[in-house]
Chains A and B, each alone.
Chain A
Amino acid sequence: MILIVILVIPLIAAGLSLIPLGRRFAPAVTLIGAMAVLIASLSVALRVASGNRVVMIENWMSCDGLSALVLLLIALVGVTAALFSWGYVEKINHGNGHEKLRYYYTNYNLFLLSLLAVPLFVELALVWIAVELTTLLSVLLVGFENTREALEAAWKYIVLTLMGAAIALLGFLILFWGLRASGGSIYTWDGLIAAAPNMPPVLLQTAFLLILVGFGAKAGLVPLHTWLPDAHSQAPSPVCALLSGVETTAVLYAILRMIPILNAVPSLRAGTWAVVFGLISVGVAAFLLLQVRDYKRLFAYSTVEHMGIILVATGLDSSAAHYGAVYQILSHAITKSFCFFAAGAVLLAVGTREITSVQGLIRTSPTAGVALLFGGLAISGAPPFAVFLSEFSILKAGLSNSQYIAVGLLALFIVIAFFGIMLHINQMVFGQPNVIPEGVNLPTSCVIALILSVIPIVVFGLYVPGPLHELLHLAANCLER
């Protein structure tokens, strides 16, 4: 029952956001709705962590370790982004009517609904629809500011990701064909793992590659990643936090779920495909990170990099590496959402996205400067933050599995990305300010959102609480054959 409730809450919140009851009503409803979703997701995650599968409708809607983890992350970022939106959207919407504000929050809730649906559905046709809806319900948010650039980004986003989704659709249909050919009829992740050994391998492999390329476009995997830096730099910052922090993860989740299915037939070498695709993404992103000129694009490319790292870790095919992969999913989601909040704070403070026109932030706007520095260090993998621990555990797992080439390349790219990110961040935070600051005050809700979202990054870098550790283990088990 609780799984349905999780989906119904944002729907109700979306409806309520339409009611014109002053400018505080829609953000308040959205925030309360998101908090209710978080509490419900937390209780689902705790039940899953104690060893139960939460089932709503058998073979249609249920929740195991991996989906509970993704669900929890979406709900968490949903709350912090709603909180950040409160002050931020008010500011960027300055001068426009309340109508635009209500439009934002309605879309926000619908987008959250579609994101939550991806891990909750286990029937593959519905998963595909949910992924498709995440594009359709977020594209109007990407173009929210109606500038030439924002609309260009929104158009590129919808065209490329829908194209990818159509390719993935063919993959899902071929997968269903293979399932029927093997005599199976349960079109769920678990049903496919059971049926895979009897399925014609050529169908399985073709379906996997179509889904990898098609959904890869949406998860930001090279070569169809080109829309991602555009959309993630032009959308309002709280939307970026959702797009970059959890939307890419939710889509990647669908790809990761395919890997144990293929592993049922060892000759298909799904792991190798994942490692190669992942390394290409990490490598390309690492070098692009060096030459960005826009700090929101910087974090967007870092998302491409992290999606690649997760894919590589899943492909490394040992239980330690799988643990690293799900840990990386966790640390990336919490850190990247924080980074975009920091970027949003900087944007409010200086009003430009150009890296070179921002200098000496630590003096002109200390809160934004410190947040950006923290975000940069945390996302590029400096100790003692969560990303450091997860990347380290992936590299260690790869070494103990003697996958030296993959691990060597991965480590190299991570180091390049680290320098790329810190080079730009350093330039922005320190140095002599070239403009006299006007003393911009950040909205209180933005500051609270920044503080709230930094807590898990620091805490999970030092210690993982018991139930979460259990959940991560269960999630890693879902990636095993």
Chain B
Amino acid sequence: MLDLSSTSPIFSQLNALVGGLFLLSAFGLVIVRQAQACLLIFIIQSILLSISAFLLGYRDASYHLLAVGVLTLVIKPALIPWLLRRTVRQEIYTYREISQVLNIPSSLLIALALTLFSYFFANSLLIIVDGSFAKVNLPIGIAGLLLGAYTLMVRREAIPQLIGILAMENGAFFAGISISPDLPLIAELAAAFDVLIIALVMGILTRTIHENIGTTRVGALTTLKEEPNQ
């Protein structure tokens, strides 16, 4: 019989597994080459985030976190992809390679360095907690945030940049639910709503850019600067 009391080691092992997969998905965002794969990885990452919320909610017997898990599960892996398909279908399903500023091996190396950095960063904060899930989840969440930011900076296309932003929020919340599980529910609700608006507004903007300029390679838009144009 499996022991499912909240203190059992199997529980923290499960949490570590989810954390590891979450980190892996953040790395996945750095290396994939298609917009559709980017979206798929984001969906997987969001499901992992909600599983993490369920695990923490079960451990603390907190309905609040369970609600966060349900909310995440409804909005991020389901509603957002639906919304993006409605607004920018063509951008996602065109089969082509996403150009990026750096090649994949150097990107991986930088991603690794960022992950190491987030472990050191998190360590300096973790002095005040006892052995809880935060020890695993905080550094992974920060790494998710940084890797999302990195993706955002090296990708030149609109959709991968949008997913980079959503991944940053995923990272922040992955860390957040482990360190401050009792954030007011209204804040969580508003944040979930906020993510939807991000997807909607950036989707509309991407479509407008496509309609008016004929490309979504936002990295190629470089007219605004101080130096005179050649």
Which residues of A143-168 have CB atoms within 8 Å of chain B's CB atoms?
Answer: 143, 146-149, 151-156, 158-159, 162-163, 166-167
Interface string of B150-174 (1 = CB under 8 A from A): 0010000010010001001101110
CB distance from A188 to the nearest CB of B (A): 11
Task: Give the CA-CA distance A428 to B95 in the complex, in Å.
Answer: 50
Query: In the complex, which residue of chain A has the Cβ closest to the Cβ of B211?
Result: A146
CB distance from A175 to the nearest CB of B (A): 9
Q: What B residues does A129 contact at CB under 8 A?
A: 187, 190-191, 194
Task: Give the CA-CA distance A311 to B219 in the complex, in Å.
Answer: 32
SS class, residues of chain A in contact with chain B: helix
SS class, residues of chain B in contact with chain A: helix
Q: What A residues does B114 contact at CB under 8 A?
A: none
Which residues of A51-105 have CB atoms within 8 Å of chain B's CB atoms?
Answer: none
Task: Give the CA-CA distance A146 to B207 in the complex, in Å.
Answer: 11
- Asked, given contacts A123-B184, A129-B191, A158-B205, whether A151 binds B165 with beta carbons under 8 Å apart, the answer is no
State whether the Cβ of A139 lies closer than 8 Å to any Cβ in chain B: yes
Q: What A residues does B186 contact at CB under 8 A?
A: 125-126
Query: In the complex, which residue of chain B has the Cβ closest to the Cβ of A176?
Result: B180
CB distance from B155 to the nearest CB of A (A): 10
Which among B158, B169, B194, B213 is the interface contact of A148 at CB below 8 angstroms? B213
- Contact at B221–A148, with CB atoms within 8 Å? yes
Stretch from A200-208, A359-367, A397-405, A465-473 forming part of the interface with B: A200-208
Chain A interface bracket (under 10, 10 to 19, 20 to 34, 35 or more): 35 or more
Task: Give the CA-CA distance A283 to B213 in the complex, in Å.
Answer: 36
- Contact at A293–B226, with CB atoms within 8 Å? yes
State whether the Cβ of A133 lies closer than 8 Å to any Cβ in chain B: yes
Task: Give the CA-CA distance A106 to B208 in the complex, in Å.
Answer: 18
Task: Give the CA-CA distance A167 to B165 in the complex, in Å.
Answer: 10
- Asked, given contacts A125-B187, A200-B128, A203-B128, whether A169 binds B218 with beta carbons under 8 Å apart, the answer is no
State whether the Cβ of B35 lies closer than 8 Å to any Cβ in chain A: no
Q: What A residues does B18 contact at CB under 8 A?
A: none
Q: What B residues does A180 contact at CB under 8 A?
A: 180, 182
Interface string of A113-153 (1 = CB under 8 A from B): 00000000001011001001100100110010011110111
- Asked, given contacts A132-B194, A140-B205, A174-B179, whether A234 binds B168 with beta carbons under 8 Å apart, the answer is no
Chain B residues with a Cβ under 8 A of chain A: 124-125, 127-128, 141-142, 145, 148-149, 152, 158, 161, 165, 168-169, 171-173, 175-176, 179-180, 182-184, 186-187, 190-191, 194, 197-198, 201-202, 204-205, 208-209, 212-213, 218, 221-224, 226, 228
Chain A residues with a Cβ under 8 A of chain B: 123, 125-126, 129, 132-133, 136, 139-140, 143, 146-149, 151-156, 158-159, 162-163, 166-167, 169-170, 173-174, 176-177, 180-181, 187, 200, 202-203, 206, 229-230, 233-234, 288, 291-293, 297
Report 29 cross-chain contacts, Cβ distance below 8 Å, ordered by A residue.
A125-B183, A125-B190, A129-B194, A133-B194, A133-B197, A136-B194, A136-B197, A136-B198, A146-B208, A147-B212, A149-B224, A152-B224, A155-B158, A155-B221, A159-B152, A159-B165, A163-B165, A166-B148, A166-B149, A169-B173, A170-B141, A170-B172, A176-B183, A177-B179, A177-B180, A200-B127, A203-B125, A206-B125, A292-B226
